[in-house]
Structure formats: C-alpha cells, structure tokens
Amino acid sequence: MYKKYQDIGKLYPLICKNKALNIMKISILLLLFGIFSVSATGYSQEARVSITVNNTTINEVFTEIKAQTNYSFWFDVKDVDIDRKVSIHVENETVKSVLSTILKGQDLGFELKGNHIIIVKKEILNQSAGAGLPQQNKKISGVIKDEHGEPIIGANVVVKGSTIGNISDHEGRFTLEVPENSTLTVSYIGYLPQEIKVGKRNIFNIILAEDSENLDEIVVIGYGTMKKSDLTGAVSSVKGDKISAIASTDITDILQGKVAGMNITSSSKVDESGSIRIRGNRSLNASNDPLVIVDGVPGRMEAVNTNDIESIEVLKDAASTAIYGSRGANGVILITTKKAKEQQTRISYSGYIGISVPNLVKMQSGDEYIQFRRDGYRYRNGWDQPFTDEDVFEPAELAVIKSRDFTDWIDLLYRNGQTQSHYIGLSAGNKTTKLHLGLNYTKDEGYSKINFKDKYNITLNLDHEINKYVSVGLSARLQRNNSQGMTKFEEKLQYMTPLAKPYNEDGSLNYYPAPQNTSGYNVLANYGKDNYTNEFIKNAAYLTGYINIRFSKYLNNRANISYNIIDRKNGYFFGKNYAKNCRIA
C-alpha cells in the first residue's frame, strides 16, 4: 500500500528542480499512463465508492479508495500531507468527487489516468496540460507573385521561430507542413518581407511588394554608378550610416558580418588590416587578397580613416570585376570617401571612449603562497615532522612575511585598456569648388602599462569645376602611426612570488627577486623605456589627382594619377636593465 507512495516520492523530486523540466516530465508521465491505461478509461471516469470516516488521515482515505476501486496513487510525499485529518460521509459517490472534497483548500490537483491517480500541485498540473502533446501539423500550399502578377521564383517561406521552410518553384508555388497556429515569414531579395498567420487556411495567395527604397539605391561599380534595380552582378554595399554606427578605426571591423561570402580574420600586427577572403581562396600559391580601390585608384585599407568613408562596395563575381582584369580575380573592394556638397558648409565632431578589462590569471595571494610553501615543505619532509618558517623561507622572505608587504605583480604590469578616438570634419562648397577636410586622432592604451598606439589622420578632398566640360580634383591623406610596447613577458610571472621584492632598498632594480629560482629574473628588467621597448613609427602620404573631361551627357573620360610616400621605422631598444644584459654576481 505504501510502496506507491515511496516510489513516487523517489521519482518526483527528480523532476522538481527545474520548472520547465518539471512540466515536461509530468506531461510525459501523464501521457505514458494514458497510453498504457486506455482500456480502463471508462471505468476510471465512473468508479464510485462509499466511505464514512471521522477525523481520519488522508492516508487512510486513500487506502479505502484503493480497496474499493483498485486504484493506485502517485504523488510526492513532500507535497501531500498524508497525516492531515479529514471527515467524510459519502454513499456511492464518484472517486473524482471524493478527491475534490478531501483536497479542498489545498494547493493540489489530480489527474485520473486509467487505474492511476496522480496528485500534483495545481500550478504544475495546469501548465503541463498545455505542454503535453505536440501540436498537429497540417499541409498548406500557395503561390507567391509580385504586384504585376508574375510568379516569384525562389522566394523563402519559413515558419517564424523555427527551421521549417521551403522555397517557391518556377511557378511561384510552394507546399509546406506547418504546426497549427503558426506564422509564416515570406521574403525575397528586392521585396518587402511579409508575416502571415496560418490560422485555419490551407491555401495562400501571397503578393510581395517591391522594396523601392532598396532598388533605387545607387552603388559604385568598376566603371561608374548604377541603380541596384539595374544591376545583374554580385555587389554588396555598406553605406555611411552603417559605417558610423561602429566605433572602430579598422575597416575590417565595419565589414565583418555585413557582406555575404566575405570571410575576415583579424590581425594582431601593428598597421595591418585583417585578412579578407571573398568567396574563398582561389590559389594555393598566389595571393588571395582582394583588390582595394580608393576613390578610383588602387590603395590600402589602413590608409583610409573610417570617419571619412562615404560608402564601401564589394564586387564579388567575374562580371563585376572584369574591368580590373586579373587584379580583380579575388574580388574588388571599392572605397568612396566623403565629398562636400554644393551650398553646404558643415562642421561635425564625433568621438568615443572605451574601456576594456583584461581577463587575467588569478595569482596566489601572499597568505595563499605562504601556506603553499609550508605544505610543499611538509610533503617533502614528512607531514608529521615538526618545522618552523625558518626551515621553509629565505631570510628576505621572512622579513616580508613579518611586514606583510606582499608584491602584486599583476598590478605592477597591467591596467585596464582604454581606447579613445576624436574626429572633426569640415565640408564647404559652392557651384564650382567643393572642399572636405577631416582630422582624426586615435589613442589605444593596451593592457600592459607601457603598450600604446597613437594614430593621426588628415584627409583632404578638393574638387573644382573649371567649366562645364572640365573638372579637376585632389585627394590627400596624411597619416602618422606611433606605437610602443613589448611582448612575451607573461611567462616570467610564474616565477614572481608575492614575497619577492621588485626593487632594492636603494630603489635600484632587484634583478633576481626569487633567490631560490635563478631562472626567475625580474620581469621589470624587460619592462619600461630604460629596459626593453619595441617602437614602431610610420609616416605616410597618399596623394591622388584627377582630371575629368565630359564630352556629352553619356560620355566622359577621367584620368587619375596617384603618388604614395611611406616611411616606416621599427626599432628595438635594449637598455642597461634588460635581463640579457644582467648576470648573477
């Protein structure tokens, strides 16, 4: 009799820790009882009992019901107080009515499944009722057309929030099995997407409206500009609003995730953009880098300040890149910088400041390290052998233990990283002359206290119309990069203990602060301008001039000339305190 109570007492707690799992498993339990007890359903609904008891425990009432009906009870003993006293007088009453009476006022409900009575909390019972069986799928079909009645081939039809979907065929037709009460999302490039509730319908006639704003968008291609609606090649465009929304001075950060078929791998090297691949690699030996065109001439992405970019177009297929010949075999990235507009004088500022916190390995505190050394001594010499700190530590370490002046090496070497960027732009123009000037300063302070990178950019775009047939222009970008830092000193931190002092009493550098380990020279010996530094300086000027001759409304000829000057200096300084210049006396 009590075996059922204990069984469910063991089973049910396993499904109580998580409410979602609780509901799911209760639903499964109800389902299983329903499957294996179908033959007893009619009996379950009509079983009747006669009970007359006064001040009797619920446990005894359950026993009496079981004796008269052969029911078994399933519940968690933590939820049901089987020792609670009740009084009940019924004659030929249904079991359901009796249970409702004795459980009245309790936060409990019950479910009759065949010869089983399951008692659970009402909340779980109500929620499990809606989470039991999966919804039934039904087959739907339809046709997708545009506003002119033409079928749309290859339109996507997807059940919202799921991976169930299909595409329309050459007649715009589709078929799909979907859950009841689901919502369809219908989309196709160049058209506005639609969401349609399935409801009770099985047949759908869907009309997609053209996305006129997207189709009228002007994109730059190899030999001019064109509307997207007239374009047949594979071209992706990133406009200025999406560019300015990203706080970064690296163009690869802007393109990341915005161009289909483009894979970008970031670079950790100074003055080098990440690796870009458009539609994969095309050669095992030759370069797979795309051709970069800046305002009509080949250039470098790192030479362009992101604040000065008007738009970026990526040409991906052979038809789009054909004008560039073999140089465009890996794709072409067209960068158009900002130009001033006629009758417009504008001064703008944009900037941002960001802080990043390093995720560093947590070093032992002073007290943790002291106990670690003591345990190590006992492990080597016997756990039951008496010892003192004089047996374990060096005299210099004992002095630190006494003063509790522990060294935090992480704090000496690291800080929170900080990045700041400031940009001022000036645009002015009249009917014949237009000027755009951009000034940018970016400072990036790394996690190491001596690592930093400064970047200065000046951009000038000048356009002048001599007459209605001839116009000339000049584009100049001046750049200076200055970075300093060091790398690969982190591995030496493992030798720097909290008991080691970085400096001597006279303020000089303590080259070997951990005397018990001569390989652990002071990491500060490779740290700072008097020890070891790696400095990179770059000065560059990118100059481009053009002359454009207009023969007619439909024909013009433009000639570009560019001249680049790049001066790089990468220097390593090894000071008197550099570790390799130090020797143990």
CATH number, domain at 155?
2.60.40.1120
> Which domain covers residue 477, as residue numbers?
413-581
Q: Say whether both 479 and 559 belong to one domain.
A: yes
146 in a structural domain: yes
DSSP 316-380: -SHHHHGGGGGGGTT-EEEEEE--PPTT--EEEEEEEEEEE---PPPPPPHHHHHHHHHHHHHHH
Q: What is the pLDDT of residue 39?
A: 40
Q: Say whether both 571 and 466 belong to one domain.
A: yes
Q: What is the pLDDT of residue 470?
A: 94
Q: Say whether both 223 and 174 belong to one domain.
A: no
Note whether 334 and 313 are within 8 A (CB): yes
Q: What is the CA radius of gyration of the chain?
A: 39
Note whether 486 and 533 are within 8 A (CB): yes
Q: What is the pLDDT of residue 583?
A: 47
Q: Say whether both 266 and 180 belong to one domain.
A: no
Q: Say whether both 433 and 532 belong to one domain.
A: yes
357 in a structural domain: no
Last residue of a domain, one of 97, 128, 159: 128
Which of 550, 344, 542, 331 has the alpha carbon at shortest distance from 427? 344
560 in a structural domain: yes
| Separation of alpha carbons 406 and 496, rounded Å | 11
Q: Which amino acid is at 312?
A: I
Question: What DSSP state is assigned to residue 134?
Answer: P
Phi, psi torsion values for 411, nearest 5 degrees: -70, -30
350 in a structural domain: no
Phi, psi torsion values for 62, nearest 5 degrees: -60, -40
Q: What is the pLDDT of residue 309?
A: 87
250 in a structural domain: yes
* 3-state secondary structure (DSSP) of residue 405: coil
Q: Which amino acid is at 234?
A: A
Strand order in the sheet with 116-121: 72-75, 116-121, 108-113
Q: Say whether both 116 and 150 belong to one domain.
A: no
Note whether 4 and 72 are within 8 A (CB): yes
Q: What is the pLDDT of residue 349?
A: 92
DSSP 459-502: EEEEEEESSSSEEEEEEEEEEEEEEEE----GGGGGG--TT--S
The CATH number assigned to the domain holding 311 equals 2.170.130.10
8 in a structural domain: no
| Separation of alpha carbons 524 and 509, rounded Å | 8
| Mean pLDDT split into 10-residue runs, the chain, 585 residues | 36 38 49 44 63 86 85 80 86 86 83 80 63 65 89 89 86 88 86 88 89 54 49 68 74 78 67 72 78 85 84 77 76 85 83 85 86 88 85 87 89 86 91 91 84 89 92 92 71 76 83 65 67 78 92 87 87 60 46
| Separation of alpha carbons 455 and 445, rounded Å | 12
Q: Say whether both 158 and 79 belong to one domain.
A: no
Note whether 142 and 204 are within 8 A (CB): yes
Q: What is the pLDDT of residue 153?
A: 87
CA separation, residue 183 to residues 39, 141, 200, 301, 330 (Å): 38, 14, 12, 44, 41
Last residue of a domain, one of 350, 384, 405: 405
Q: What is the pLDDT of residue 206?
A: 93
Predicted TM-score (pTM) of this structure = 0.54
Last residue of a domain, one of 128, 158, 177: 128
Q: Say whether both 425 and 574 belong to one domain.
A: yes
| Separation of alpha carbons 481 and 541, rounded Å | 12
212 in a structural domain: no
Q: Say whether both 163 and 310 belong to one domain.
A: no
347 in a structural domain: no
Q: How far is CA 135 from the centre of its chain?
A: 33
Please provide the size of the chain in residues.
Answer: 585
Q: Say whether both 421 and 477 belong to one domain.
A: yes
Burial class of residue 132, CB neighbours in 10 A (0-12, 13-18, 19+): middle
The CATH number assigned to the domain holding 61 equals 3.55.50.30
Q: What is the pLDDT of residue 337?
A: 86
When divided into structural domains, the chain yields a total of: 5
* 3-state secondary structure (DSSP) of residue 253: helix
| Separation of alpha carbons 386 and 384, rounded Å | 6
Q: Say whether both 456 and 569 belong to one domain.
A: yes
Task: Dig out the tokens for 199 from the structure.
Answer: 């409801």
Task: Give the helix, strand, coil percentages of the chain, each rounded to 5.
Answer: 25, 40, 35
Q: Say whether both 541 and 494 belong to one domain.
A: yes
